[in-house]
Amino acid sequence: MATTSEFRNGMVIRLEGELFTIVEFQHVKPGKGMGFVRTRLKNVRTGAVLDRTFRSGEQVEEVRLERREMQFLYRSDDMLYFMDTETYEQFSVPVEAAGDAVLFLKEGEAASVFMDGDTPVGVEVPYFVELKVVETEPGVRGDTATGGSKPAKLETGLVVQVPLFVEEGDTVKVDTRTREYIERV
Protein backbone atom coordinates (compact mmCIF):
# COMPACT_ATOMS: atom_id res chain seq x y z
CA MET A 1 0.00 0.00 0.00
CA ALA A 2 1.14 3.53 -0.74
CA THR A 3 -0.13 6.87 0.49
CA THR A 4 -0.82 9.96 -1.58
CA SER A 5 2.46 11.50 -0.40
CA GLU A 6 4.31 8.73 -2.30
CA PHE A 7 2.61 9.47 -5.65
CA ARG A 8 4.94 9.98 -8.63
CA ASN A 9 4.42 10.15 -12.37
CA GLY A 10 4.43 6.70 -13.96
CA MET A 11 3.38 4.93 -10.75
CA VAL A 12 0.84 2.12 -11.31
CA ILE A 13 -2.02 1.73 -8.83
CA ARG A 14 -5.09 -0.50 -8.58
CA LEU A 15 -8.48 1.20 -8.18
CA GLU A 16 -11.77 -0.69 -8.20
CA GLY A 17 -10.05 -3.75 -9.72
CA GLU A 18 -8.49 -1.81 -12.63
CA LEU A 19 -4.86 -0.80 -13.15
CA PHE A 20 -4.10 2.91 -13.65
CA THR A 21 -0.88 4.81 -14.35
CA ILE A 22 -0.47 8.22 -12.71
CA VAL A 23 0.02 10.67 -15.58
CA GLU A 24 0.18 13.76 -13.38
CA PHE A 25 -0.68 14.75 -9.84
CA GLN A 26 -0.89 17.91 -7.76
CA HIS A 27 -0.97 18.33 -3.98
CA VAL A 28 -3.48 21.03 -2.96
CA LYS A 29 -3.64 22.61 0.50
CA PRO A 30 -6.68 24.89 0.78
CA GLY A 31 -6.83 27.72 3.32
CA LYS A 32 -9.02 25.70 5.65
CA GLY A 33 -9.72 22.01 5.85
CA MET A 34 -7.63 19.02 4.88
CA GLY A 35 -5.35 18.90 1.86
CA PHE A 36 -6.04 16.68 -1.11
CA VAL A 37 -4.31 15.34 -4.22
CA ARG A 38 -5.69 15.86 -7.74
CA THR A 39 -4.57 13.19 -10.18
CA ARG A 40 -4.94 12.37 -13.83
CA LEU A 41 -4.96 8.58 -14.25
CA LYS A 42 -4.67 6.50 -17.43
CA ASN A 43 -6.26 3.06 -17.52
CA VAL A 44 -3.51 0.56 -18.43
CA ARG A 45 -5.84 -1.76 -20.35
CA THR A 46 -8.11 0.67 -22.22
CA GLY A 47 -6.06 3.89 -22.31
CA ALA A 48 -9.00 5.93 -20.97
CA VAL A 49 -7.98 9.00 -18.95
CA LEU A 50 -9.70 9.73 -15.64
CA ASP A 51 -9.44 12.67 -13.23
CA ARG A 52 -9.61 11.59 -9.59
CA THR A 53 -9.18 13.41 -6.28
CA PHE A 54 -7.76 11.68 -3.18
CA ARG A 55 -7.78 12.89 0.42
CA SER A 56 -4.32 13.67 1.76
CA GLY A 57 -2.85 10.55 3.37
CA GLU A 58 -5.33 8.17 1.68
CA GLN A 59 -3.89 4.74 0.92
CA VAL A 60 -4.01 3.03 -2.46
CA GLU A 61 -2.64 -0.29 -3.69
CA GLU A 62 0.61 0.14 -5.63
CA VAL A 63 1.21 -2.45 -8.35
CA ARG A 64 4.64 -3.49 -9.59
CA LEU A 65 4.50 -4.50 -13.24
CA GLU A 66 7.17 -6.80 -14.61
CA ARG A 67 8.71 -5.74 -17.93
CA ARG A 68 9.59 -8.65 -20.23
CA GLU A 69 11.32 -8.45 -23.57
CA MET A 70 9.29 -10.30 -26.19
CA GLN A 71 9.17 -10.77 -29.93
CA PHE A 72 6.04 -9.66 -31.79
CA LEU A 73 4.72 -12.59 -33.83
CA TYR A 74 1.51 -11.48 -35.53
CA ARG A 75 -1.85 -9.72 -35.23
CA SER A 76 -5.15 -11.56 -35.51
CA ASP A 77 -8.38 -9.52 -35.36
CA ASP A 78 -8.26 -7.67 -32.03
CA MET A 79 -5.36 -9.64 -30.46
CA LEU A 80 -1.57 -9.27 -30.69
CA TYR A 81 0.61 -12.34 -30.20
CA PHE A 82 4.05 -12.20 -28.58
CA MET A 83 6.71 -14.79 -27.71
CA ASP A 84 8.92 -14.57 -24.64
CA THR A 85 12.47 -14.79 -26.03
CA GLU A 86 13.75 -16.67 -22.96
CA THR A 87 11.04 -19.29 -22.34
CA TYR A 88 9.47 -19.36 -25.86
CA GLU A 89 6.06 -19.07 -24.20
CA GLN A 90 3.42 -17.23 -26.24
CA PHE A 91 1.11 -14.51 -24.91
CA SER A 92 -1.85 -12.72 -26.44
CA VAL A 93 -2.47 -9.06 -25.69
CA PRO A 94 -5.66 -7.18 -26.61
CA VAL A 95 -5.07 -4.40 -29.16
CA GLU A 96 -6.60 -1.84 -26.74
CA ALA A 97 -3.95 -2.70 -24.11
CA ALA A 98 -1.15 -1.98 -26.58
CA GLY A 99 -2.42 1.53 -27.30
CA ASP A 100 -0.34 3.52 -29.81
CA ALA A 101 2.35 0.81 -29.86
CA VAL A 102 0.21 -1.02 -32.45
CA LEU A 103 1.21 1.62 -35.03
CA PHE A 104 4.89 0.65 -34.71
CA LEU A 105 4.78 -3.15 -34.28
CA LYS A 106 6.40 -5.14 -37.08
CA GLU A 107 6.44 -8.94 -37.20
CA GLY A 108 9.65 -10.35 -35.74
CA GLU A 109 10.60 -7.11 -33.94
CA ALA A 110 11.26 -6.81 -30.19
CA ALA A 111 8.94 -5.02 -27.76
CA SER A 112 8.53 -4.78 -23.98
CA VAL A 113 5.38 -6.35 -22.57
CA PHE A 114 4.24 -5.31 -19.08
CA MET A 115 2.97 -8.21 -17.00
CA ASP A 116 0.74 -8.17 -13.90
CA GLY A 117 1.62 -11.64 -12.62
CA ASP A 118 1.01 -13.84 -15.67
CA THR A 119 -1.37 -11.42 -17.36
CA PRO A 120 -0.01 -9.10 -20.08
CA VAL A 121 -1.43 -5.60 -19.57
CA GLY A 122 0.58 -3.29 -21.85
CA VAL A 123 3.13 -2.99 -24.63
CA GLU A 124 6.00 -0.55 -25.12
CA VAL A 125 8.06 -0.26 -28.30
CA PRO A 126 11.61 1.15 -28.64
CA TYR A 127 11.96 4.93 -29.04
CA PHE A 128 13.00 4.54 -32.68
CA VAL A 129 11.77 2.02 -35.25
CA GLU A 130 12.62 1.48 -38.90
CA LEU A 131 9.62 1.08 -41.21
CA LYS A 132 9.27 0.74 -44.98
CA VAL A 133 7.36 3.34 -47.02
CA VAL A 134 4.56 1.59 -48.93
CA GLU A 135 2.75 4.59 -50.41
CA THR A 136 3.74 8.19 -51.10
CA GLU A 137 3.42 10.73 -53.89
CA PRO A 138 6.51 11.39 -55.98
CA GLY A 139 8.41 14.48 -54.86
CA VAL A 140 9.21 17.00 -57.58
CA ARG A 141 12.39 19.05 -57.35
CA GLY A 142 11.83 22.74 -57.06
CA ASP A 143 8.37 22.40 -55.47
CA THR A 144 9.33 24.65 -52.58
CA ALA A 145 11.83 27.30 -51.65
CA THR A 146 12.62 25.52 -48.37
CA GLY A 147 12.70 21.83 -47.39
CA GLY A 148 9.11 20.77 -47.95
CA SER A 149 7.43 17.55 -46.93
CA LYS A 150 4.74 15.11 -48.02
CA PRO A 151 2.67 12.38 -46.33
CA ALA A 152 3.92 8.80 -46.53
CA LYS A 153 2.06 5.64 -45.51
CA LEU A 154 4.31 3.11 -43.75
CA GLU A 155 4.03 -0.68 -43.68
CA THR A 156 2.14 -0.67 -40.35
CA GLY A 157 -0.49 1.80 -41.63
CA LEU A 158 1.02 4.83 -39.88
CA VAL A 159 1.13 8.05 -41.92
CA VAL A 160 4.04 10.46 -41.28
CA GLN A 161 5.36 13.58 -42.97
CA VAL A 162 8.62 12.88 -44.84
CA PRO A 163 10.97 15.02 -47.00
CA LEU A 164 10.30 15.18 -50.75
CA PHE A 165 13.28 12.91 -51.61
CA VAL A 166 11.77 9.87 -49.81
CA GLU A 167 10.23 7.38 -52.25
CA GLU A 168 8.14 4.21 -52.07
CA GLY A 169 10.27 1.26 -50.96
CA ASP A 170 12.62 3.41 -48.83
CA THR A 171 13.08 2.55 -45.16
CA VAL A 172 12.75 5.42 -42.70
CA LYS A 173 13.49 5.82 -39.00
CA VAL A 174 10.52 7.11 -36.95
CA ASP A 175 10.41 8.43 -33.37
CA THR A 176 7.64 6.43 -31.62
CA ARG A 177 7.06 9.13 -28.98
CA THR A 178 6.34 11.97 -31.42
CA ARG A 179 5.43 9.96 -34.58
CA GLU A 180 7.91 12.05 -36.57
CA TYR A 181 10.30 11.14 -39.35
CA ILE A 182 13.95 11.14 -38.20
CA GLU A 183 16.00 9.97 -41.18
CA ARG A 184 16.11 7.71 -44.21
CA VAL A 185 17.94 4.46 -43.51
Mind listing the pLDDT tens digit for each residue in 45-87?
Answer: 777 889 999 998 889 999 888 888 999 999 888 889 999 888 8
Domains, in order of start, for the chain: 2-62 (2.30.30.30), 66-124 (2.40.50.140), 128-184 (2.40.50.140)
pLDDT at 145 exceeding the cut of 80: no
Give the angle subtended at the CA of 44 by the CAs of 61 and 49, to the nearest 5°: 100
Can you tell me whether residue 24 is helix, strand or coil?
Answer: strand
Q: Is the predicted pLDDT of residue 44 greater than 90, yes or no?
A: no
Per-residue pLDDT tens digits for 89-121:
998 888 877 878 888 998 899 998 888 888 888
For residues 37 and 54, is the Cβ–Cβ distance under 8 A? yes
| 78-113-175 Cα angle (round to 5) | 85
Confidence of residue 19 (pLDDT cuts 50, 70, 90): confident
